[in-house]
Chains A and B, each alone.
Chain A
Amino acid sequence: MVSIGQMDGAGDEAAGIVLAGGRSSRMGTAKADLAWHGSTLLYRTAALLTRTVPGPVVVVAAPDQPLPELPRAVTVVRDPVEGLGPMQGIAAGLLAVADRAPCAFVCSTDLPFLHPAFVRRVLHAIDSYRADLALPVARGYRQPLAAGYRTALGELIAKLVTEGQLRPGMLAGHCTVAPVDDAALLADAELARLDPQLDSVTNINTPDDYAAALRRPPPEIAVQAFGALAGASGRGPRLVRAATLGAAAAATGLTLDRHVVAALNGDQIFRDRQLPLVTGDSVAFLSADAGG
């Protein structure tokens, strides 16, 4: 599995921004609070970015918006003004991370199948197209809320907002935008293998959308327990369906606690039971005590 560490240039230090505001009028309830495999949709999206981008991950929320529990590494940025739409949120997020990251993947909360490979592909496009904004045009629609932005755009967007230009499309006249269509997205072998239908941009707007998303089977994950932990599930890798690390552990007969940790794709170590898993992931369960 390819990781952010392989990307050249700006993507090597990219941030993640999740927009948690919005009225969710068609859903009838805040999307951020929607239950998702033991946590919430917002937790899933934010945690997915924490395991994908090397830089900071922030959630942008309305001034008084209550938020569900978030991953420990995630910080919250409050919109200075409520009701100005996504441009305001994008500006607030970019400004919050501009001193720590040259670019950021910006997305809405309601992308339950967002895949790290999609995020990496979009961030890579910022460099490869020398663009300020890598704008996926996936499944025939522009996706400004699943796009890559140079963080230096923060001030420009904030200025546009103050001038009343509140639609993301307004940006085109002010910076270099690189449209990335389906073919360009799927030219990336990793993305083509792991998310060939570009489900990453499937969003949920209505209760029916939500119900349909919940009906989808969890992704298929390769798990392996090592050492004394292998007793419960036997040695060697095997496939399980699990949307979170905790579910993968349970399917392996384990519980993530102070004595058990998990290595994701042979790389970072996690203990967060709610960490989202995606198609193509492999998880190694290890004893937390590595004394030798």
Chain B
Amino acid sequence: MAAGGYFGRALVVDVQPDSVTSTVLPLDDGVLRAYLGGVGLGCWLLHRLAPQGVDPTGAASPLAFVFSPLVGTPLTTSAKFAVVAKSPLSGLLTDALASSRFAIAGKLTGHDAIVVRGRAATLSVVLVDVDGARLEPAAELAGLSAADTETALRQRFGRGWSAAVIGPAGERGVRYATISHDGRHAGRGGLGAVLGAKNVKAVLVRAGTRAPVADPDAVLAAARDLRERSFGPATRKYRELGTLANLLAFNAVSTLPTRNFTAASFDGAPRLAAEELHELRGVARNSCASCSIGCEHIYSRRGGGQQRMEYENVFALGPLCGVSDPDQVFAASARCDELGLDTISAGGTIAWAMECAERGLIDAPWLRFGDGAALLRALDAIGCREPGLGELLAEGSRRAALAVGGGSIDFAPQVKGLELPGYEPRTLQSMALGLAVNARGADHNRSGAYEADLSGELDRMHGGPAHVAAAVATEDRAAVMDSMILCKFLRGVFDDPFAEWAALLRSVTGWDVDAAELHATARRIVLAKRVFNLREGATAADDTLPRRLLETPLELDSGRTATLTAERLQAMVADYYRARGLDGAGRPPAADLAGLCLDLGLDVVDQHNSGAAAVGSDHGTQLV
């Protein structure tokens, strides 16, 4: 019998041309306890099921929807799921979280994870419930936006089903296409392109069972307590203004990436600020299922309509592209939602293209910083992979820069192929390290090291040992929160996070887990991701930042010059490796590999380390 909150199995759905076969993959207690769920369990599943060197958009590439022991409990913010696959953007592991009813319904199909492989002959949808999986043709959904797809599916299959869907960008293989549910995106790394390559427009799930917890009374008491705390000062920012509250504050402290990272503050920021929009355009707040914070803020669009806005989409489609007109940024954000595009990668890639156009490196004289109409035109070109510029930018900034040449890779705003989020690394040097070393690439959710930079505990513009320790600590915290899963917007309410999280897990699962075990779990998850990337060809050379950030000092409004040199970053990376117990090339020792509960893939890392061509492994295809 599985521990509380678990079913002890994953469903592996192999999509055939016009049907599916499904297999149950048992998940024993040891694996679940070692990886918890969410991104942790998803990483383990990828190790198990993804053949080494698999083409992310190939039929053999697995895409895992992973739930967690907390999903379905009354614990606030727990209705989340992870989507995990090999990224078509980075060629490495990517994991993204999304929220709400899909998480609950997906888990209550009786599975801790649903993995999709294979390829349908025509555009189809996969349906999963307690009776198993089936494939339904869905040619009528071709080209529909993510929202329209959900509406159409609801009409066709009924309200009992929840859907994770792709937009046109996913169908057309844009390398940073998203998977979304109810307007919330598993955004980063191109998961939509992975699903689209399977000719699967949506995965639908329907609840049909229960997942009892070990100590219902304790879970209920914890839920009441957490809910109460979620109304306190730690979440005030999210409740009152949402993540967009960052924009004006970051602008004031030279941390708002602007015009493709050529500046860290933006004259037009006040027009895009949450404070301004809240007064003039704020219309509603919304929350995910099982969430008492309600961070989503919805604004009215001039000319009609509403748009949910977050810091990251405003940063990427606003200052990063030099656009200050809120209606143009709203429109661009809405376009990304419709197409199913990751706003950060879309904005980053277009900002790079704007700079290329201004330098004469690409023939698009209409594409200029600050031109909102050009931004929309570029998004449309990407979404339909328009020949020429659309095809180029659909590949993401790294591939596009390598194709264009002219030194443009130096200012392509990416790490490991994933575009940078809205945290300027030169003025946030703990974050600089976090962005450089993270398995997913430039990422603010798996590494929240900006917390340390903005804590007042260290000099944010002079990275050193304290910054390394902070980056490791925040990475560990994220690994646990993203696996058990709780929304990270809740993190500020915990006084002693690992101990409190262990208590939550004890009440749900019945395990005698403690803080020390969770620290080890965090380290295991971070290490397992790195090992996956190593077997896919990643090296220490990938743990870096774009040359622009390492060679071009940033003149700040304060009069100070923020400098992050390659030498300083390398020193921090070396310290990070030591802190993680890795060797100088970022590889773990054999003893640590043994603790990963993988029993497969260890040789792959060794082969990679020795330079052998480690191909042909079939470890990913065997089900136990």
**B233, B252, B489: which contacts A226 (Cβ < 8 A)?**
B252
Query: What 0/1 pattern do residues 310 to 322 of B give for CB contact below 8 A with A?
Result: 1110010000000
Q: How far is the CA of A290 from the CA of B315 in the complex (A)?
A: 14
Contact B454 A261 (CB under 8 A): yes
CB nearest to B444 among chain A residues:
A292
Q: List the one stretch of B143-151, B384-392, B552-560 in contact with chain A.
A: B552-560
Q: Is B541 an interface residue (CB 8 A)?
A: no
Q: Shortest distance in angstroms between B212's beta carbon and chain A's nearest beta carbon? A: 32
Residue A251 lies at the interface, judged by CB distance under 8 Å to chain B: no
- Within 8 Å by CB of A54, from B450, B462, B558, lies B462
Which residues A236-292 have CB closer than 8 A to chain B?
A: 257-259, 261-263, 265-272, 284, 286-292
- Can you list 10 A-B pairs, Cβ within 8 angstroms, ordered by A? A54-B459, A224-B252, A227-B245, A227-B275, A257-B233, A259-B236, A269-B456, A284-B253, A289-B238, A290-B250
Say yes or no for B285: interface residue by CB 8 A criterion: no
Whether B488 is near chain A, meaning CB under 8 Å from some CB there, is: yes
- Specify which chain B residues have a CB less than 8 angstroms from the CB of A228 in the assembled complex: 236-237, 239-241, 245
Residues A269 and B245 in contact, CB atoms below 8 Å apart: no
A290 touches B240 (CB 8 A): no
- Measured as residues with beta carbon below 8 angstroms from the partner, the interface class of chain A is 35 or more
The distance from the CB of B353 to the nearest CB of chain A, in whole angstroms, is: 24
Is the CB–CB distance between B311 and A292 below 8 Å? Answer: yes
Q: Is B451 an interface residue (CB 8 A)?
A: yes
Does A266 lie within 8 Å of B456, measured CB to CB?
Answer: no
Nearest CB to that of B562 among chain A residues? Answer: A5
Contact check, B249 vs A227: say whether CB atoms are below 8 A apart: yes
Q: Are A267 and B252 neighbours in the complex by a CB distance under 8 Å?
A: no
Could you tell me the distance between the alpha carbons of A257 and B454 in the complex, rounded to whole angstroms? Answer: 13
Answer yes or no: A2 CB below 8 A from chain B CBs: yes
* Dominant secondary structure of chain A at its interface with chain B: loop
- Chain A residues lying within 8 Å of B560, measured Cβ to Cβ, are 3-6, 267
> In the assembled complex, how far is the CB of residue B440 from the closest CB belonging to chain A, in whole angstroms?
16
- Since A226-B245, A284-B253, A288-B455 are in contact, a sample of 13 more A-B pairs with Cβ atoms closer than 8 Å, ordered by chain A residue number, is A6-B559, A54-B459, A227-B245, A227-B248, A228-B239, A265-B558, A267-B253, A267-B556, A269-B253, A284-B252, A290-B250, A292-B311, A292-B315
State A287–B558 Cα separation when bound (angstroms).
20
Instruction: Looking at the assembled complex, report how far the CB atom of A146 sits from the nearest CB atom of chain B, in whole angstroms.
Output: 23
**B237 and A266 contact, CB distance less than 8 A:** no
Chain A residues near B243 (CB-CB < 8 A)? 291-292
B170 at the interface (CB under 8 A from A): no
Contact of A267 among B236, B239, B248, B558 (CB under 8 A): B558
In-complex Cβ contact of A286 among B234, B240, B253, B275 (8 A): B253
B290 within 8 A of A: no
Residues of B within 8 A of A288 (CB): 451, 454-455, 492
CA distance A265 to B556 in the complex (A): 11
Give the interface of B toward A (CB within 8 A).
Answer: 233-234, 236-241, 243, 245-246, 248-250, 252-254, 274-275, 310-312, 315, 421-423, 444, 448, 450-451, 453-457, 459-462, 488-489, 491-492, 556-561
Pair A231/B240 contact, Cβ less than 8 Å:
yes
Of the candidates A227, A269, A287, the one whose C-beta lies within 8 Å of that of B460 is: A269
Contact of B559 among A3, A259, A263, A272 (CB under 8 A): A3
Known pairs A269-B460, A287-B249; A5 contacts B561 (CB<8 A)? yes
A258 to B223, CA, bound (A): 23
- Asked if A235 is at the interface (CB within 8 A of a chain B CB), the reply is yes
Query: How far apart are A272's CB and chain B's nearest CB, in angstroms?
Result: 7
Query: Cβ of B488: which chain A residues have Cβ within 8 Å of it?
Result: 291
Identity of the chain B residue whose Cβ is nearest the Cβ of A231 in the assembled complex: B240
Question: Are A235 and B254 neighbours in the complex by a CB distance under 8 Å?
Answer: no
In the bound complex, CA of A2 to CA of B254 (Å): 15
Whether A183 is near chain B, meaning CB under 8 Å from some CB there, is no
Contacts of A258 in B (CB 8 A): 492
A213 near B: Cβ within 8 Å? no
Tell me if A261 and B456 are in contact (CB < 8 A). yes
Q: In whole Å, how far is A237's beta carbon from the nearest beta carbon of chain B? A: 10
| Shortest beta-carbon distance from B263 to chain A in Å | 13
Residues of chain B with a CB closer than 8 A to A211's CB: none
**B460 — nearest CB in chain A belongs to which residue?**
A269
Contacting residues, chain A, for B239 (C-beta < 8 A):
228
Residues on B with beta carbons closer than 8 Å to the beta carbon of A272: 456
Interface assignment of A171: CB less than 8 Å from any CB of chain B = no
Which residue in chain B gives the minimum CB-CB distance to A272? Answer: B456
